[in-house]
Amino acid sequence: MFSDVLYDICHGAEPTVDSVAELLSTNDPKELEQLYEAARSKREEHFGNTVYTYGFVYFSTHCKNNCTFCYYRRSNKDLERYRKSKEEIVQLAGSLKDAGIDLADLTMGEDPEMYANGYEKLLDIIHAVKHDVGISVMASPGALPSDMFPAVKEAGADWYACYQETYNRELFAKLRIEQDFEKRLDQKISSRKAGLLAEDGMMVGLGESVRDRAEAILKMGGLGCEQIRTMTFVPQEGTPLMMSGTCDTVEELKCIAVMRILFPDRLIPATLDVEGIAGMQTRLAAGANVVTSIVPPHLNLAGVAQHELDIENGNRSVEHVFEMVESMGYRLGTAADYRRFIQDTLERRSLS
């Protein structure tokens, strides 16, 4: 029974793929509300009503990979790609910091130009944003050789993000074609060994089963990743999966809630990159505690899953997001709070 399983898991029973799948399978409105309520109460215990905010800086949309779900895959010739200069990136990150954003997520496709000469440009950009701007930094540059992580840390990154998308190896092979499951998995382990915090993520709506979702949640949390996420797949023009149907975002909300209940002390994003600003409230109500993919308007920056939605109209702007978060009764965590969270998390990790 759903409510027994929920009660047991909330009170410390060891979760299994079966019990997690049971929680993810409900569509009963009353049970869904119980699930979200339980997630909110776990969040409250660990984070109070504080919500952190991340700015998204997609600084190069060039990519050598060909992931079937992604708009920026190399075979998609329908888009104009861009690559921002270090100066532009520093300026962008500076404006995010001045506006009160807690972290700059420096994201790129697997751009060979950034990888050249021992990842020189990438490291230089991370260094400049951390040291010239002074904002917390997440690096999302794709899969790196494992001996690069000390250099990424040294350059000034706090986080390294690399999403497995699924822990079903057959499905992985169809999505992240020509990429190595083990190598991507090891990114989380090697980056944490080098002293970085790590983020893992799963996509929902790409043909995975409910058990696959349960397994991914258990794996991502089990690796110790300090931030875990889920995003609903948004079909992209010019890609092989363009015509695939869309998945109801309630599936993503259930995953958010279950992640929060199982791993209450982790950061969990409410992304603006799937449903824009309209989707923020439901994700926070399901237990998320970080708003990600805030993108300033008029700077020609793209999102990933929604490359345009709510950007130019300013709905993904800092001001708009802050106003809405506060009107929902949350407290915006300051950059100093956020740095303390990072510090405390690293200290706790070195003690354990």
Q: Which 178-217 positions form the footprint of ligand MD0 (CB under 6 A)?
A: none
* Residue with the CB atom nearest ligand SAM in the bound state: 305
Comparing CA positions, the residue from 255, 249, 311 lying closest to residue 274 is: 249
Alpha helices in 237-289, H assignment, sequence order: 250-262, 280-285
Q: Using the rule CB under 6 A, is 256 a contact of ligand MD0?
A: no
Q: Using the rule CB under 6 A, is 304 a contact of ligand MD0?
A: yes
Q: Using the rule CB under 6 A, is 56 a contact of ligand MD0?
A: yes
Helix (H) or strand (E) holding 229: strand 227-232
Measured CA distances, 166 to 128, 202, 271, 314, 319 (Å): 33, 5, 18, 32, 34
Question: What are the residues whose beta carbons fall under 8 Å from the beta carbon of 182, sequence distance 6 or more?
Answer: none
Q: Using the rule CB under 6 A, is 107 a contact of ligand MD0?
A: yes
Q: 290: helix, coil or strand? A: strand
Question: What are the residues whose beta carbons fall under 8 Å from the beta carbon of 138, sequence distance 6 or more?
Answer: 54, 103, 104, 105, 106, 157, 158, 159, 160, 161, 199
Q: Provide, for the chain, the percentages of residues in helix, strand and coil under a 3-state DSSP scheme, each rounded to the nearest 5.
A: 45, 15, 40
Q: Which amino acid is at 150?
A: P
Q: Using the rule CB under 6 A, is 161 a contact of ligand MD0?
A: yes
Comparing CA positions, the residue from 266, 264, 253, 262 lying closest to residue 8 is: 262
The 10 Å Cβ neighbour count of residue 159 is 24
Token output for 305: 């899953």
Q: How far is the CB of 109 from ligand SF4 (least distance, A)?
A: 4
* Residue with the CB atom nearest ligand MD0 in the bound state: 292
Report how many residues bind ligand MD0 under the rule CB under 6 A: 12
Using CB under 6 A as the criterion, which residues of the chain lie in contact with ligand SAM when the complex forms?
A: 69-70, 107, 109-110, 140, 142, 162-163, 165, 201, 203, 231, 233-234, 236, 304-305
Binding-site member from 271, 289, 315, 317 for ligand MD0 (CB under 6 A): 271
Q: Which does 56 bind (CB under 5 to 8 A by kind): ligand SF4, ligand SAM, ligand MD0, none?
A: ligand MD0
Q: Which does 115 bind (CB under 5 to 8 A by kind): ligand MD0, ligand SF4, ligand SAM, none?
A: none
Q: Using the rule CB under 6 A, is 315 a contact of ligand MD0?
A: no
The CA-based dihedral angle spanning residues 106, 107, 108, 110, taken in that order and rounded to the nearest 10 degrees: 110
Of 38 and 108, CB closest to ligand SF4: 108
Of 15 and 201, CB closest to ligand MD0: 201
Q: Using the rule CB under 6 A, is 293 a contact of ligand MD0?
A: yes
Of 204 and 286, CB closest to ligand SAM: 204
Q: Are strands 103-108 and 50-60 parallel, antiparallel or unpaired?
A: parallel
Q: Which does 303 bind (CB under 5 to 8 A by kind): ligand SF4, ligand SAM, ligand MD0, none?
A: ligand MD0
Q: Which does 73 bind (CB under 5 to 8 A by kind): ligand SF4, ligand MD0, ligand SAM, none?
A: ligand SF4
Place of tokens 């944490």: 192
What's the CA angle centered on 284, arms 279 and 289, to 5 degrees? 125
Of 34 and 306, CB closest to ligand SAM: 306
Token output for 321: 């997001």
Q: Using the rule CB under 6 A, is 105 a contact of ligand MD0?
A: yes
Of 9 and 144, CB closest to ligand SAM: 144
Using CB under 6 A as the criterion, which residues of the chain lie in contact with ligand SF4 when the complex forms?
A: 63, 65, 67, 70, 72-73, 109-110, 142
Q: How far is the CB of 137 from ligand SAM (least distance, A)?
A: 14
Comparing CA positions, the residue from 165, 163, 159 lying closest to residue 191 is: 159
Q: How far is the CB of 293 from ligand MD0 (least distance, A)?
A: 4
Of 9 and 58, CB closest to ligand MD0: 58
Interface with ligand MD0 (CB under 6 A): 56, 105, 107, 140, 161, 269, 271, 273, 292-293, 303-304
